[in-house]
Structure 1
């Protein structure tokens, strides 16, 4: 499939897809005229890339994990495992921070509800 179809199927803009290639996150084959061509596996790959980016994972970290999306060498798999462990720890910390913020917000909301009930 060409870049337009991959864009439609994944929701990623053509510009984003080209950026993913520049960052080493995605590889395409080229036709004789230079057009990019992608396979079905690229649809899933783009979905994973977008999910990681939405979670705040950097393109550099994603590039380190890419070998685990194909057949990695042992060294690539080890590097990917270290990156994934580091990203998991970072996300776990972020989730905990959000939980604390959510609890604080809920406390403020309850205080506000009580105030409104007393003054209505």
Structure 2
């Protein structure tokens, strides 16, 4: 299967496929004219790679996981690596949740301003003078 067909079927760019090859995540054969040719299994492999990248795993970690994925067996080191990555992703989710919550508060304040948050809603500085008895003549 040629690079364009794999890219189309997997829903990625040909540039992504070249990157995967450079990183050692995907293999191809070369024709005598130098064109890349992939096995039919490359489409599923690319979809798996996309899932792993979407999960936030860097290519170096994916490269460490692939032998176990291909063998269908995980060593204790692989499980430790996956646990570490899961903890990293969980921490990132916590940080993103806090950022989202802060943004929600700002949106709420913008839609429902109060004098505490909006100086324009505070009583004007001249108001006490306008209502004082000495200013009425």
Q: Place the TM-score, normalised by the shorter chain, in its bin.
A: 0.7 to 0.9
Q: Calculate the TM-score normalised by the size of structure 1.
A: 0.78
Residues in 2 aligned to 1:92 and 1:37: alpha-carbon distance in whole angstroms? 38
Structure with bigger gyration radius: 2
Q: Does 1:81 pair with 2:75? A: no
Residues in 2 aligned to 1:108 and 1:13: alpha-carbon distance in whole angstroms? 38
Report what 1:8 is aligned to.
8
- Secondary structure, counterpart of 1:57 in structure 2: coil
Q: Calculate the TM-score normalised by the size of structure 2.
A: 0.70
Higher relative contact order, chain-length normalized (CA < 8 Å, sep 6+): 1
C-alpha displacement at 1:67, in angstroms?
1.5
C-alpha displacement at 1:92, in angstroms?
0.6
Q: Does 1:44 pair with 2:44? A: yes
In structure 2, runs of 5+ residues without a counterpart are: 115-120, 122-137
Q: Out of 105, 108, 118, which is 2:106 matched to?
A: 108
C-alpha displacement at 1:34, in angstroms?
4.2
Instruction: Map Cα deviations across residues 80-116 of structure 1 (whole Å, 9 max, x no partner).
Output: 3222112111111111111111111111211221118
Report what 1:53 is aligned to.
53
CA contact (8 A) 1:10 1:47 kept: yes
C-alpha displacement at 1:73, in angstroms?
6.6
Residues in 1 aligned to 2:73 and 2:29: alpha-carbon distance in whole angstroms? 22
Residues in 1 aligned to 2:32 and 2:77: alpha-carbon distance in whole angstroms? 35
Residues in 2 aligned to 1:36 and 1:9: alpha-carbon distance in whole angstroms? 16
- Secondary structure, counterpart of 2:113 in structure 1: helix
Q: What is the aligned residue count? A: 116
Residues in 2 aligned to 1:69 and 1:29: alpha-carbon distance in whole angstroms? 22
Residues in 2 aligned to 1:36 and 1:78: alpha-carbon distance in whole angstroms? 36
In structure 1, runs of 5+ residues without a counterpart are: none
Q: Which has the higher helix share?
A: 1
Report what 2:91 is aligned to.
93
Residues in 2 aligned to 1:79 and 1:31: alpha-carbon distance in whole angstroms? 38
